[in-house]
Amino acid sequence: MFLRWPAIFLVLALSAGHSLCAAQEDPYLAARQAMVGDQIRREGISDPRVLQAMLEVPRHLFVPSGVRSRAYDPRPLPIGEGQTISQPYIVGFMTEILRLKPSDRVLEVGTGSGYQAAIASKIAQEVYTVEIFESLAARSRRTLSDLGLRNVHVRQGDGYYGWEEKAPFDAIIVTCAGGHIPPPLLRQLKNGGRMILPVGGPFLTQNLVFIEKSADGSVSQRNVLPVAFVRLLGH
């Protein structure tokens, strides 16, 4: 736990060192660094791999051009089809709580913009992501490909049934709000696996539920408090 802090400072210091020259190429770099500093790290996300991933992935490329200037604001944004990209803190929180490892195979349900998959792909070995809306699946596939993220696999389909052929998974992230935990996803979760899913409205997430499947296959669940994840600004 204590070793994490030097790592975080190292990540941020390195990124700051790069910023002078990189800012000329990436006009959003400063905004991204501010996002990680103010919204993610200061709010309690401490996994250096998550912080590094969020520093590296250009969030502005995952949002429609009309709202690009707000891409690093602490809020969800519309991406079309009535769907949204989650606010940065939620993405960081959901990624961290899954305790992803470099060897993990991850299933994401609800690709949306592809941003969450991109973050997970920086940490895990393979990310399989399912999106029900063809237009979003096509757009996110293009964005992820343009960024060279070859370990993300996008499929258009009903994520409720997971991705049977690629199961089991070490971790499952459900990024679209639902009213129950799909039984097929529980079946596709490895023993010892973790799953996180939001519960509540379609764009104003109210609750996160964290599920763990023990080595013997029994399932336990706990709710993650909204006050822990609806924080907006850096306080």
By annotation, the residues acting in catalysis are 86
How many angstroms from the chain centroid is the CA of residue 52? 13
Residues 79-98 that bind other proteins (CB under 8 A): 80-82, 84
Please confirm whether the linkage preceding 168 is cis (ω < 30° from 0): yes
13 binds other proteins (CB under 8 A): no
User: CA dihedral in degrees (104, 5, 36, 142; nearest 10)?
Assistant: -20
Site for other proteins in 128-157 (CB under 8 A): 132-134
CB 79, min distance to other proteins, A: 10
Exactly one of 145, 191, 214, 221 binds other proteins (CB under 8 A); that residue is 221
Q: Which two tokens stand for residue 120?
A: 């997970």
Q: Least distance (Å) from other proteins to the CB of residue 139?
A: 14
At residue 143, φ and ψ (nearest 5 deg) are -60, -45
Tell me the window of 1-9, 20-28, 29-37, 193-201 that interacts with other proteins (CB under 8 A).
Answer: 193-201
CB 228 within 8 A of CB 209: no
What H or E segment, with its residue span, contains residue 85? strand 83-85
Confirm or reject binding of residue 70 to other proteins (CB under 8 A): yes
Give the interface segment with other proteins, choosing from 22-30, 44-52, 94-102, 201-209 (CB under 8 A). 201-209
Token pair recorded at residue 181: 């935990």
Where does 2-70 have alpha helices with state H? 4-25, 29-34, 48-56
Please, which residues have CB within 8 angstroms of residue 190's CB and are 6 or more apart in sequence?
168, 169, 170, 213
Residue 179 makes contact with other proteins by CB under 8 A:
yes
- Return the residue of 18, 42, 75, 166 that touches other proteins, per CB under 8 A: 75
> Looking up tokens 């370990």, which residue turns up?
151
Minimum Å gap between C-beta 208 and other proteins is 10
CB of 43 to other proteins, least distance (A): 9
Interaction between residue 31 and other proteins (CB under 8 A): no
| Look-up of token digits 């990436």 | 26
Q: Does residue number 21 form part of the binding site for other proteins (CB under 8 A)?
A: no
CB-based contact 87:63 (threshold 8 Å): no
Site of interaction with other proteins (CB under 8 A): 67, 70, 73, 75, 78, 80-82, 84, 132-134, 158, 160, 177-183, 186-187, 199-204, 206-207, 209, 211, 219-228, 230-233, 235
